[in-house]
A and B are shown apart, each in its own frame.
Chain A
Amino acid sequence: MNTSVSADTPKGSIVVVGPGIMLGAHLPPRSRNYIEKADIVFSCCPPIINRWLETLNPNFNSLLDLYGEGKVRSQTYQEMVDAMMAAVRDGLKVVAVYYGHPGVFAWSPHKVIEVAKSEGYAAHMEPGISADACLYADMGIDPGQFGCQSFEASAFMFYRPRYEPASYLILWQPALAGELSITTQHSNAAQRQVLVELLLEDYPSGHQIAIYEAPFLPLDKPRIDWFALEDFANQRLTMNSTLVIPPAKKMQVDKTVLEKLKRLQQQV
């Protein structure tokens, strides 16, 4: 096996990992190893997760200080990339930790890998456990049974993507549904009611939907609250809430396609 490194290969590197959702329970062994052996760890995780990560590697830097009230998020994200890349360019073995799955609903982890690779540094992402992985387990949902589409709630409202009401529909961050500013963690009932009106185009008002929240600490239980679609706007929502909308109708067989496939099968 040739393990030699070309003299042209820059020394620095970056691996992006995720601790999963539940503290202590979801960090893959391989990601933990990367954290423990890193020259420097950057983290964009809730404070208590950061306290734990610091026990795994004392060369620890929280990226949370880069957030600021009223500060444009794109600026914060770019500053995260800049901070991590400065360490990579210094020749350090860098590990970045982003809550949940590091590649889900996060811009800077993907960007820093793109930048590092473009400059010739070794860079990759390790998968982690995301909120939807917990949701499938806790709610007993198999996304393969009827299909499953997921959108960020506000993006679902802004862009009106085509979706199939015979499949599961998962809307992320419903607490912010319809919120256009960057200064609050919650949209108001009127903004959420706009989402309800959009969904009523395809679902009956009494259709049972659920708010799901994955357990964060080992002693926590998942939150699964069912209610009618028409009552969504006044539900208690947090930044950890996910909206789950089960299918409202049965999937229909496309007989034309099926006949075509049968004919092809007979030709084999």
Chain B
Amino acid sequence: MSAIKLIELLGMDGELTLDKLSPADRALVIKLMGEKEEEDDEVAPNMSQTASFD
């Protein structure tokens, strides 16, 4: 299963935790979480701004 599908599974399950995953799956999830932090830094500077004077 891909890392993103593992994250989806964790989100849908509610009781599944990282320590219940196999070591290989756990490594995939941790790697994706690291990539997410890098992506957060690359988001366009005005992406999240809304509204007041637009």
Contacts and interface: CB of A to CB of B under 8 A. Distances in A.
A77 B8 contact: no
Chain A residues touching B, majority SS: loop
Interface of A: 22-26, 46-48, 51-52, 55, 64, 67-69, 71, 73-74, 76-77, 105-107, 152, 154-155, 158, 173, 176, 179-180, 182-185, 217-219, 239
A67 B47 contact: yes
Contact of A182 (B35, B42, B46): B46
12 contacts: A46-B43, A48-B4, A51-B4, A64-B44, A107-B50, A154-B52, A183-B46, A217-B33, A217-B36, A218-B11, A219-B33, A239-B48
Contacts of B50: 105-107, 152, 173
Residue with the highest number of chain B CB atoms closer than 10 Å, among A73, A154, A218 = A218
A74 B52 contact: no
B48 to A, nearest CB: 4
B47 A64 contact: yes
A52 B7 contact: yes
Contacts of A218: 7, 10-11
A168 B50 CA distance: 22
B7 A46 contact: no
Given A74-B54, A217-B7, A68 B44 contact: yes
Interface string B2-41: 1011011111101001100000000001001101100110
A1 to B, nearest CB: 33
B11 A25 contact: yes
A109 to B, nearest CB: 12
Contacts of B46: 67, 69, 71, 73, 76, 182-183, 185
A67 B49 CA distance: 11
A47 B51 contact: no
Contacts of B32: 48
Given A48-B32, A219-B18, 12 more contacts: A22-B11, A23-B7, A23-B8, A25-B12, A46-B40, A52-B4, A52-B7, A106-B50, A176-B49, A183-B45, A185-B45, A217-B36
